Structure 1
Amino acid sequence: MKIAIAQMNSTPGAFDATVSSMAAYGRRAEELGADLLVFGAPVLMGPDPMGLAANEAYLLDATRALGALAEQVGVPALVPYTSNITGAPTYDVAYVRDGAAVPISLTSMLDAIGPGSVDAVARGIRERLDADARLGDAGGQAARLIDPAVIEVGGAHVGVALSLGDLDAFCAGDLDADVICLMPVDGYDTDDEMTSLAPAVSDGCFVPEAADADAWLAVAGASGAYEDMVYCGGSFVMAPWGELAAAASSFAEELLVCDVDVRSEGPLAEPVAPPAYDRATLLWRSAATSVRDQVNKRGLSGVALVVDGSLASAATAAVAVDAVGPLRVHALVWAEEDALADARELVRNLRIRDVDELSARGLEAAAEALGGDGEEGVVSSLVETRLGTLAAAGELLALSCADKTMLAVGTGALAATPVVRACTFAPFGDVYRSDVAAAARKRNAVSPVIPAGCLARLRVPTGLGLEQAAQTDELRLSELDALLLLRIERGAGVGELAGSRLGEQGVALVLERLRALEAWRRQGPAYPVVSARSLGEAQRPAMDAWKDRPTDEAAASRLVSSVADVISQPRQRPMRPTQKASAATGAQVPAPGMPVSFSISPETAGQMAPRISELMGYLKELSDGRRLRGEQGGTWPGGMFSDN
């Protein structure tokens, strides 16, 4: 069996152009003798069409595009797409073959319903669609994923999966396949190494899954940015015993073709060495890809940005040039003294020709004329206004140098944050400044375009007690980012943050700043989501006055006991009949959902109390049907800042 993977970029909604490109991949795959062609998840409609998923005209055009593709592709193909057949957005996969595109979910549904009259089958489909619609309404996701399934292609059993979690069904033996085609809907996540695909294999990722499933893995990644997601390519084919049979490059469009012998027990005659996993490089290239595709897919001319001599602005300028080239970058230089010299050196090194220097004195005078007495917040707002005007006039993408640290706690006193903000895009908006610094240094190792002064100008947020936490700006920033990561990604409470070098008062200042800037963050900018939990995903009601405080262990102990009572007391929740006795032991097995009798001693409840938030989080994850956070070897199995 020969499998082809089309690792490509696309513009969602441009159906004619996308189908034309997909058909070209199909013709090449057919010429190379492929038996199956697999496309990445976002290629046809993007990872999430949002409100368009309920637009009948949009869905009709997408259906026509699938039909046109089926007529043009001469090799069987798997094409992910979004449908609304259940009444809720659902991510499905079309099996394109013999001029037709058949939804995998429909074939699985018919197999489950079994043979019968037309009326009986129609009734079964309606019941399942109604059940799926109720599930979709309860889930709260933008688009629900279909369950993993198995189809037959050329005599081989081919599994279809849309998420890393879907592999569990094959690993556990619930589904059996010769080859598993994984088309991940989720993009690259610096906190999850597996989302980089092929580079993750160098650290042993995917090998246990292939072995447990006893199947070949054909992982099809896209290459490009779609709204707030970035896909870094890295498609690959792996043998059941863990050897890599083929691998595509990261951040490149290409057709990967590989022979798969489902009867072979290995080893491979010529295995492929997996590419190395480099977090900093992948992060940088993800940021550049997001800028490039924001410009190109939106039909813009280039980018406009501010260069102020800081690390953040230097990294943003360098990544912009890497994304679209220096001739499509317009820089506004706004700095004084040494920072101005570094800013000028940066634009020279990057060969940016379209440069305007803003007069610091002129901006201060304008701020005073507005009644701001030259305050930094008013001056920053004037610069933002100039940036927005420039971008609008030249059809440019306005870039913000805001990173996750800045968006979380600002720059200093609350009054110093810009009052007016341009409609911008922040390439590093979901990346802590410590990680931006690491990525910038990595970029400088390729060519030293960022001056040393910019790299050293970290501009650590003030007013948070960081001066007493460490001796250098780099260490202070590391302490702050470590605390923010614990709070935002892990959801740690005040008690869990008590060990920070910032001390109790410093932690309180950081959390208060994080809370106070909630409404300000919602004014923008947009940014690519490349972490386990962005600030947008961690947001709270802006008008909510609640403040976190150390856990009352006595109260937490009582809560643990009350949870145990609800679980153990039959009167607390509905009963279900006991199932038949186990054939192996003769003991009765409780039916699903039936209360299990047990008790928790006061001593045990007291020991569990300090971990109450983690316990409740685990219970929620179990109820949602998700993996536990610790199942992959820790809270953060990977990630740029996970070492902290």
Structure 2
Amino acid sequence: MKIAIAQINATAGDLTGNAAKIVEQARRAEAAGATLLLCPELALSGYSPEDLLLRDDFYHACERALYALAQELPATLTVVVGHPRKYLGNRYNAASVLEAGRICHTYHKALLPNDSVFDEVRYFSEGSEALVINHLGCKLGIVICADVWAPEPARRARDAGATVLLVLNASPYHIGKQQERYAVVRDRIKETGLPVVYANLVGGQDELVFDGASFVMNDEGALTQQLPSFDEALGIVSFSDGAPEPAEIHPLPGLEPAVYQALSLGFRDYVLKNNFPGVLLGLSGGIDSALTLAIAVDALGAGKVQAVMMPSAFTASISLEDAQAMAAGLNVRYSEIAIGPVFESFCAALAPEFAGRPFDTAEENLQARIRGTLLMALSNKFGSMVVTTGNKSETAVGYSTLYGDMAGGFALLKDVSKTLVYQLAKYRNTISQVIPERIILRPPSAELRHGQTDQDSLPDYAVLDGIMEAYVENDYSWEEILALGYREQDVLRVTRLVDRNEYKRRQAPIGVRVTKRGFGKDRRYPLTNKFVFNR
């Protein structure tokens, strides 16, 4: 028996396009000698369609697409495909078995995740019945994604006679996620004694990115096969006497390569799936915009990227030189628009109101807002999407300007801490030297006043990022954060900045999620909030 895994990149709501991908993979699977094709969770609709799942017309369209798909598949191939289903008044996250132009069986997902980025309780009802199909003498149990994260659904399949467990997944990436998947699958194998074929979605969908890395484990929990990470692929799993035979195991990328690939894939899919002709960004000569430019070019190609340098009286000459050098090295369209005259005009207009008051954050933010306005004007004129360049550390503590450097359609580094920004920049330069070394070595600065550095306003980034990870990503208590060795005044400063800047984050563009808790879908705090985090 040969089972094929269709690791496809689906798009939410693109029923025709997703079905075409499934048909293509089915034909390839049949040509490779497979008799069954396993597709990811909600492969037909994409994951997640979100509130499309509250519309009856969407379910009707999915039903029509499923029937049409069944007619187009090779007659000799069995295909297991994930899709939304409305049945007897209830909505389900379903998987149907398609054979010879017919829908033969349907399974309803039993366990609905309702934490982190998942809202499935909002949309679906729980299924309660096992589904085991006979296929060439093997009994294949079918479960969907979260079903394998708890014992009962797999046990039900085993008790119904399953000898192999097929798992459809739309499991989004975060750092360390594949090791978590291995652990839970091995728990199910230990409990049931069933080998597992795990098919995962790949591709970007808004802020989520799916990393693929579909895999197979035998009945002892040993990894026997693994598909590539962050790429579409078709895997052929050969079984002998009910056990999967050893096959190619594509290695997992390390931390920096994995995050870099996740950012590139999530960004590319957002731009291309939404039909933007290209992107543009403000290139400052600093490390955040440098890394953003490198990823944008790697994801889209230089022809779809424009870099705009907008110097002021506070822009250091080395910032201008490094921006020019990097843009030339990457062969992107490069423009310079000095903001001095616009800034002076604004200051003159505001002079009667600002009379007697010193230069402060009002003038600093005004420069950022001029730059944001210029970028958005270029976007409006030519259709390219503005990419913001702020990182997670800045987003956490509000070290950014509303309607200024936050203005744009996508925040590529939104879930990347400043310390990780440096790691990714150094990693990218191991592939080819595209980020000038001086950018990496210089103290970071917003360059909105003379002699400014980030550490004038913020703790050292190593301290800030450590406290942010503990507070934002791990929900540690005051005592738990202090136990990590941070000074009380630093903990108080960082956590209070995080709390008081929720209003800014609500107005920020989306960005690729790479940690287990990003700002956006993951972390949702009230804007009006009197709870004080301290002793």
Give the whole-Å Cα distance in 2 for the aligned partners of 1:370 and 1:248. Answer: 61
* 1:254-333 map, 5 Å: 254-264=233-243, 268=245, 271-333=247-309
Matched-pair contact (CA < 8 Å) for 1:303–1:328 = yes
Gap change, CA 1:356 and 1:366, over 3 Å in 2: farther
Deviation string, structure 1 residues 499-527 (Cα, Å, up to 9, x no partner): 45552222111122111211111111111
Contact persistence 1:207–1:242 (CA under 8 A)? yes
**Partner SS, residue 105 of structure 1:** strand
Q: Is the 8 A contact 1:92 1:145 kept in 2?
A: no
CA-CA distance at 1:219 after TM superposition: 1.4
Deviation at 1:168, TM superposition (A): 3.5
Instruction: Determine whether 1:514 maps to 2:498.
Output: yes
In structure 2, how many angstroms separate the alpha carbons of the residues matched to 1:275 and 1:169?
28
Question: 5 Å matches for 1:235-250?
Answer: 235-250=214-229
TM-aligned CA deviation for residue 282 of structure 1: 1.0
Alpha carbons of structure 1 residues 105 and 23: separation in structure 2 relative to 1, 3 Å: same
Cα pair 2:228 2:250 within 8 Å, conserved? no
Confirm or deny that 1:90 pairs with 2:92: yes
Following the alignment from structure 1 to structure 2, what is the Cα–Cα distance between the partners of residues 370 and 218? 67
Change over 3 Å in CA distance of 1:541–1:87 after alignment to 2: farther
Distance 1:240 1:70, change over 3 A: same
Q: Secondary structure at the match of 2:240?
A: coil
SS at match of 1:341: helix
* CA distance in 2: counterparts of 1:76 and 1:194, whole angstroms: 30
Write the letter of the residue equivalent to 1:425.
F
| Paired position in structure 2 for 1:31 | 31
> SS in structure 2 opposite 1:260?
strand
**TM superposition shift of 1:86:** 6.8
Q: Distance in 2 between matches of 1:526 and 1:539?
A: 14
Is 1:504 equivalent to 2:480 in the alignment?
Answer: no
1:230 alignment partner in structure 2: 209
What per-residue deviation string (whole Å, max 9, x for no partner) do you get for residues 535-572 of structure 1? Answer: 2232321121221121xxxxxxxxxxxxxxxxxxxxxx
Q: What residue number does 1:570 align with?
A: none
Whichever residue aligns with residue 529 of structure 2, its letter is: D
* Aligned pairs (5 A) from 1:489-500: 489-499=473-483
Cα gap change, 1:359/1:103 in structure 2, threshold over 3 Å: closer, same or farther?
Answer: farther
Which residue of the partner structure matches residue 163 of structure 1? 145
Structure 1 position 439 matched with structure 2 position 439:
no
Partner of 1:124: none
Residue in structure 2 matching 1:384, options 355, 368, 372: 372
Alignment correspondent of 2:134: 153
- In 2, the alpha carbon distance for the partners of 1:424 and 1:175 equals 45
- SS of 2:308's partner is strand
10-19 or 427-436: bigger deviation: 10-19
Alpha-carbon distance in structure 2 between the residues aligned to 1:96 and 1:296: 31
Q: What residue number does 2:318 align with? A: 338
CA offsets 1:398-453 (integer angstroms, 9 cap, x no match): 11112211111132xxxx62445424201221121212221221111111101112
Report deviation, 1:193: 3.4
> Please, which runs of 5 or more residues in structure 2 have no aligned partner?
113-118, 446-452
Q: How many correspondences in the alignment?
A: 500
Q: Distance in 1 between matches of 2:462 and 2:346?
A: 34
In angstroms, what is the RMSD of aligned CA positions? 2.9
Question: Is the CA contact 1:302–1:328 (under 8 Å) kept in the aligned structure 2?
Answer: yes
Specify whether residues 173 and 497 from structure 1 end up closer, same or farther in structure 2 by C-alpha distance, changes over 3 A only.
same
SS at match of 2:411: coil
- Name the residue aligned to 1:454: 439
Q: Deviations over 1:446-475 (max 9, x none)?
A: 111011122234447446662xxxxxxxxx
Equivalent position of 2:448 in the other structure? none
Distance 2:55 2:526 in 1: 30
1:114-155 residue CA offsets vs partner (Å, 9 max, x unmatched): xxxxxxxxxxxxxxxxxx9xxxxx975455665683321313
What corresponds to 2:16 in structure 1? Answer: 16
TM-score, normalised via structure 1 length: 0.72
Contact 2:227–2:250 (Cα < 8 Å) also in 1: no
Q: Deviations over 1:217-270 (max 9, x none)?
A: 211122211122111222222322344443322222222112112445x9x5x5
- SS of the residue 1:399 aligns to: strand
Separation in structure 1 between the aligned mates of residue 203 and residue 38 of structure 2, nearest angstrom: 17
Q: Distance in 2 between matches of 1:68 and 1:340?
A: 57
Q: Which amino acid aligns with 2:140?
A: V
Structure 2 CA distance for aligned equivalents of residues 295 and 148 of structure 1? 40
Distance 1:451 1:146 in 2: 55
Equivalent position amino acid for 2:192 in 1 = A
Residue 148 of structure 2 contacts residue 184 of structure 2 at CA under 8 Å; is this kept in 1? Answer: no
In structure 1, C-alpha distance between the alignment counterparts of 2:54 and 2:184, rounded to whole Å? 37
Which shifted more, 278-287 or 242-251? 242-251
The sequence identity of aligned pairs, in percent, is 24
Change (3 A) 1:366 1:9: farther
Secondary structure of 1:405 counterpart: helix
SS, match of residue 516 in structure 2: coil
Counterpart residue number, 1:606: none
Q: CA deviation at 1:171?
A: 9.5
Q: What's 1:580 paired with? A: none
Determine the C-alpha separation between the residues in 2 that align with 1:344 and 1:367: 27
Is 37-46 or 59-68 further displaced after alignment? 37-46
Check if 1:190 corresponds to 2:170: no
* 1:81-137 residue CA offsets vs partner (Å, 9 max, x unmatched): 12344766532212212322356336x99xxxxxxxxxxxxxxxxxxxxxx9xxxxx
Counterpart residue number, 2:60: 60
Residues 139-148 or 419-428, more deviating: 139-148
Give, as a single letter, the amino acid of the residue that structure 2 aligns with 1:345. Answer: A
Say whether the 8 Å CA contact 2:10–2:47 is kept in structure 1.
no
Q: Tell me which residue corresponds to 2:198.
A: 219
Larger displacement relative to structure 2 (332-341 or 441-450): 332-341
1:18 Cα deviation from its structure 2 partner? 2.3
- Alpha-carbon distance in structure 2 between the residues aligned to 1:146 and 1:395: 45
Counterpart for residue 422 of structure 1: 407
In 2, distance between residues paired with 1:312 and 1:8? 31
Moved more, 216-225 or 65-74: 216-225
Determine the structure 1 residue equivalent to 2:116: none
Partners of 1:465 and 1:16 in 2: how far apart?
Answer: 50
8 Å CA contact 1:150, 1:159 repeated in 2: yes
1:42, distance to aligned residue in structure 2 (A): 4.5
